[in-house]
C-alpha cells in the first residue's frame, strides 16, 4: 500500500520502519514543519493515512482525510469528546475511519480479559478495583486513552461502578484519593522513558489480584496501526479496533 503518515514523531518513525519492512511505501510525511504539504492532492497519493499527532491537530487531520476521500487510522487520543461528530461526518460522507486508544495486539487481548474479569467480579463485591497507568513524561494527555478504555470496560461489566475519576500523581508525592464508592479510580504516573504500563488491581482484605500489561517499547503500538491500515484500506465506514480484532 501507499501510506501517508500524519504525525512524524517517535511513533511516526517507528510506523514508517514497520510499514516499509512489510513492503508498503510511505508517500507523505506530515509534521509541524510542513503542514502546508497536507493537501487533498498529496493525500490522494496514498491508499490510507495513519494519524499519530497531538490532540490539538488530530481533528484537522481527520477532516483533511475525509475531504480527500482517504481512509484514516487514528491512534491519537485526547479528543474523544468529539467522537459522535466525527462518526456522523464519516458516515454522511461515506468515508473510512478506524480508531483505537491502543492498536497493540497484546493490549487488545488485555482489554478483552479485563471485561471478562469485571463481569466475574460482580459475584465478589468485597474486592475494590482501580486502574494504574504509567507513561513517559512526554505524554500529553492523562489519563491515557488505554486507561480510559480499561476503566470503561470495567464500568460496562461491573454493576457497582458508574464512572471513572483520574488522579495525576507521582511516586514521591501521591495525591489524595477522592473517589466515591461507585467510581473507578485511575491513577496516572509520568516517569521518564516508560512506553506504557497498565494495571487493573482488585484488592480485598485477604488478597490482591492484578492484571497487568507492560509495553517494552512502542513497536507493538506501531505494528497494530499498520495492521489496522491493512485491514481498513478496502472498507467503508466507521470502525473501532474491536471490529478489527473481533473481540466482543
Residues tagged active-site? 135, 139
Closest CA to 142 of 225, 55, 12: 55
- Give the β-pairing of 197-203 and 2-6: unpaired
Greatest alpha-carbon span in the chain = 62
Distances in whole angstroms, Cα of residue 242 to Cα of each of 2, 94, 191, 238: 24, 20, 29, 12
C-beta separation of 59 from 79 below 8 A: yes
CA distance 105 to 225: 10
Amino acid at each position: 500500500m501507499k501510506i501517508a503518515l500524519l504525525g512524524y514523531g517517535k511513533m511516526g518513525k517507528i510506523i514508517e520502519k514497520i510499514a516499509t519492512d512489510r513492503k508498503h511505501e510511505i508517500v507523505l510525511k506530515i509534521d509541524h514543519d510542513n503542514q502546508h504539504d497536507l493537501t487533498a492532492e498529496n493525500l490522494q497519493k496514498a491508499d490510507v493515512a495513519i494519524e499519530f499527532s497531538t490532540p490539538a491537530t488530530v481533528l484537522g487531520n481527520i477532516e483533511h482525510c475525509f475531504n480527500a476521500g482517504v481512509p484514516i487510522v487514528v491512534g491519537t487520543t485526547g479528543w474523544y469528546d468529539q467522537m459522535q461528530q466525527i462518526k456522523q461526518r464519516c458516515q454522511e460522507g461515506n468515508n473510512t475511519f478506524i480508531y483505537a486508544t491502543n492498536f497493540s495486539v497484546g493490549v487488545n487481548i488485555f482489554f478483552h480479559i479485563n471485561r471478562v474479569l469485571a463481569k466475574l467480579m460482580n459475584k465478589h463485591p468485597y474486592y475494590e478495583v482501580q486502574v494504574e497507568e504509567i507513561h513517559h513524561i512526554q505524554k500529553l494527555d492523562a489519563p491515557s486513552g488505554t486507561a480510559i478504555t480499561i476503566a470503561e470496560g470495567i464500568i460496562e461489566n461491573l454493576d457497582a461502578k458508574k464512572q471513572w475519576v483520574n488522579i495525576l500523581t507521582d511516586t514521591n508525592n501521591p495525591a489524595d484519593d477522592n473517589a466515591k464508592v461507585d467510581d473507578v479510580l485511575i491513577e496516572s504516573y509520568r516517569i521518564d522513558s516508560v512506553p506504557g504500563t497498565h494495571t487493573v488491581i482488585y484488592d480485598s482484605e485477604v488478597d490482591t489480584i492484578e492484571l497487568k500489561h507492560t509495553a517494552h517499547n512502542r513497536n507493538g503500538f506501531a505494528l497494530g496501526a499498520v495492521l489496522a491500515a491493512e485491514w481498513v484500506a478496502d472498507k467503508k465506514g466507521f470502525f473501532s479496533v474491536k471490529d478489527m480484532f473481533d473481540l466482543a
